[in-house]
Chain A
Amino acid sequence: MLKTFPKGGVHPNENKFSTGKPIERIDLPKQVYIPVAQHIGAPAEPIVVKGDMVKTGQLIAKSSGFVSANIHSSVSGKVVKIDKVSDSTGYKQTCIIIDVEGDEWIETIDRSETINDKIDNLTGEQIRNKIAESGIVGSGGATFPTHVKLSIPLGKTCEYLIINAVECEPYLTSDHQLMLEKAEEILIGCKLAQKVVGAKKILIGIENNKPDAISNMKTMAQKYKDIEVHALKVKYPQGAEKQLIKALTNREVPSGKLPIEVNCVVQNIGTTFAIYEAIQKNKPLFERVVSVTGKSISRPTNIMARIGTPINMLIEAVGGLPQDTGKIINGGPMMGKALNTVEVPVTKGTSGIVIIPEKYSTRPKSYNCIRCARCISVCPMGLEPYLLKNMSIVKMYEEMHKERALDCMECGSCSYTCPASIPLLDYIRLGKANINKILRSQKS
């Protein structure tokens, strides 16, 4: 029996069209837009001004607090403007706009292809500082600064370092491809992260729809006694932190608590690759793998894109925007964000660009709730989405809070599954926002 989390979950069509497509590089854009807020936490502060010449990999905005992250230039050229530009969230954000001239990297980056597997010369503390310097944030989409996630609070210990290679979102294949091409580097990155948190064991969880990645990782991991690679049953949202921990260790992170409560730390597989590059190759995070894919895309593939590249360049590279496009999603179809323009830049959290044909881009018409209980049976958090929706409609926010609305991780399984096509998660989000507002006002 393959491991998985026990309660809830759905199985959407996988549609992984870009599976097995080698990671490609595309021509550099003429201009990049690098937002200073690509992570959860305080935006970074620009340290360059208009007219400055920068090199690829050069620090251009500095982390402005504990939960914040450095930003590096992804190209070489001239800073032409620091301005507010709308990013993938739809809001205007400060961006550093750079005109690309050549591609001159800072000298400290080791651009050779050789794999450097010596990890003994740095202490955990040094590794963590280097991770912070390199501006690494979670690559799965949540973009939490990695050095913060790797800091173990006083009095807690980390037993398992869990590596999330589940890639349970339909369409996306960037992690999959990375495991096929960069397995050795990833494993070295895992060992480095392990050194930081002091974990006894590393557990890598991969869904069973990637057999080639599983066998590749298993073979490569043979030389490490403390790395286990586990094949998991295909079920969304297995990549959710709490569900993944449950699947691999059978531990349940208590409501409102972090994984360290059950002695686990979770890292995304893409993040471990970034850690490898930062520590062993001195290369800060300024590019990442993005799956550019969709039903009518002529050449779905995985692209190594510089941060700040406008996504329309990526779309051009896979054959251009299809005629029937109705929706463009930054991320996967279950949790990604719909974009209102193709002018937004790739950021550290962009795992994929999914193009949805018009036919499938609007919601089906919704009916009355027929109380079929399907939303309850698919909710991995054990909530009652229909009830939360009803409470949200009549603004019973305190009752919603008692029904644990804040436990909802917004996986969308309930909305996905509802036969009456009720946008349950929309109502729940609204309720959560109001609960948070009430909680904040109670605090102050």
Chain B
Amino acid sequence: MAINKLTVSMSPHDYGKNSVKKIMYGVVLAMVPALLVSVYFFGLDAIRVNLIAIASCLFFEWFFQKFFLKGNTTIADGSAIVTGMLLAFNVPSNLPWWIIVIGSLVAIGIAKMSFGGLGNNPFNPALVGRVFLLISFPVQMTTWPKVSVLNFTMTDAETGATPLALLKEGLNNGKSMTEIIDSIPTSYVDMFMGQMGGSLGEISALALIIGGLYMLFRKIITWHIPVAILGTVAIFTGILWGIDPTKYATPLFHIFTGGMLLGAIFMATDMVTSPMTHKGMIIYGIGIGVITVLIRVWGAYPEGMSFAILIMNAVVPLINNWTKPKRFGEIIKN
């Protein structure tokens, strides 16, 4: 019996079919519906922003891996594509190309690779990129083009504000809620379908929910984080609205606007930067929900999602420490 080489390794000798690549490309696939909606409403600009963001994220991933981490190239694992798309989803579609490249550099170079690459970053890279841009280029980052159906000319479109920005502005000017809502041209149905101003990937609740359901089905995410966030926001804003409907917007308005669903489904669920146990995920989700509402209602920015997620990213190690899984056989005798 001639055998040349027998592999001798420790058990287990069988492996599951899951892989990092499958997970990452699963997320990419889940973002496609929202991408299509953004092309529908913002035209080819949406594709332009996505391509620039993905290409520059891939480039920086390769560059930092090769010259700083000196490891094998990791661009094929798909994580840089996810970061690129998420960054693109979080900016207006008319953003100049060089700002997108800077955002990618911050996301990949600073937020991800300086911590040692995929898996080691405490903060969601795309969000760090976005918040950096929001602070550095406030004008460009908050000039949203008006939506126009299937407009494929690359001319400068008209610009307008997001519903959430209109709300903040109106309240700051002392207008009442009914006046503000009347002045906002978007109905709930529009919001649900995506016909409103905003960052290019955040507009359509429907497309984001489809993507979320797909990820649930593929077991890429669990329901805990999105449900905890949305539930908290609904309850918190519901109470405020119940107290004074002339001063506070409805829960539905909060959930459909300002990247709430994009954040809850795609950003907060990033496995690298979220807690490890279901209990921890719920605490984390509640934290994000509460902070978002605090910022939106009482803070200076109209949106609060990005900041809330980054703040909660920072406490994930603590949450992990509080919420250990229940050990088998750890029954307290009574």
Residues of A whose CB lies within 8 Å of any CB of B are: 7, 10, 12-13, 90, 170, 242, 246, 252-257, 312, 315-316, 320-321, 325-329, 333-342, 354, 356, 358, 360-364, 367-374, 376, 379-384, 386, 404, 407, 410, 412-413, 415-421, 423, 425-426, 429
Out of A242, A334, A380, A404, name the residue touching B12 (CB < 8 Å). A334
- Stretch from B13-21, B83-91, B178-186, B231-239 forming part of the interface with A: B13-21
Q: Which residues of A contact B6 (CB under 8 A)?
A: 325-328, 338-341
Q: Measured between alpha carbons, how far is A338 from B330 in the docked complex, in Å? A: 33
For residue A328, give the distance in angstroms from its CB to the closest CB of chain B.
6
Q: Given contacts A334-B14, A335-B11, is CB(A383)–CB(B325) below 8 Å?
A: yes
Q: Which residues of B contact A7 (CB under 8 A)?
A: 325-326, 328
For residue A155, give the distance in angstroms from its CB to the closest CB of chain B.
16
Q: Encode contact with A along B262-292: 1 for CB under 8 Å, 0 otherwise.
A: 0000000001111011000000000000000
Q: Which residues of B contact A13 (CB under 8 A)?
A: 14
B1 interface hit (Cβ, 8 Å)? yes
Q: Measured between alpha carbons, how far is A387 from B273 in the docked complex, in Å? A: 15
Nearest neighbor of A316 in chain B, beta-carbon distance: B1
Out of B1, B5, B74, name the residue touching A342 (CB < 8 Å). B1
For residue A420, give the distance in angstroms from its CB to the closest CB of chain B.
5
Contact assessment for B11 and A412 in the assembled complex, using a CB-CB cutoff below 8 Å: yes
Q: Which residues of B contact A368 (CB under 8 A)?
A: 116-120
Q: A252-B328, A336-B13 are in contact. List 13 more A-B contacts (CB 8 A).
A: A325-B6, A333-B13, A338-B6, A340-B6, A342-B3, A368-B120, A370-B272, A371-B276, A373-B276, A379-B325, A381-B329, A407-B329, A418-B16
Contact assessment for A333 and B12 in the assembled complex, using a CB-CB cutoff below 8 Å: yes
Q: Given contacts A321-B1, A382-B326, is CB(A254)–CB(B331) below 8 Å?
A: yes
Out of B15, B274, B276, name the residue touching A363 (CB < 8 Å). B15
Q: Which residues of A contact B11 (CB under 8 A)?
A: 333-338, 410, 412, 425
Q: For residues 71 through 123 of chain B, which have their beta carbon under 8 Å from a beta carbon of chain A?
A: 74, 77, 79, 116-120
Q: Which residues of B contact A328 (CB under 8 A)?
A: 6
Contact assessment for A253 and B329 in the assembled complex, using a CB-CB cutoff below 8 Å: yes
For residue A331, give the distance in angstroms from its CB to the closest CB of chain B.
8
Q: Which residues of A contact B3 (CB under 8 A)?
A: 321, 325, 342
Contact assessment for B271 and A335 in the assembled complex, using a CB-CB cutoff below 8 Å: no
For residue B255, give the distance in angstroms from its CB to the closest CB of chain A.
26
Nearest neighbor of B271 in chain A, beta-carbon distance: A372
Nearest 4 Cβ contacts at the A-B interface:
A412-B12, A368-B119, A255-B329, A419-B18
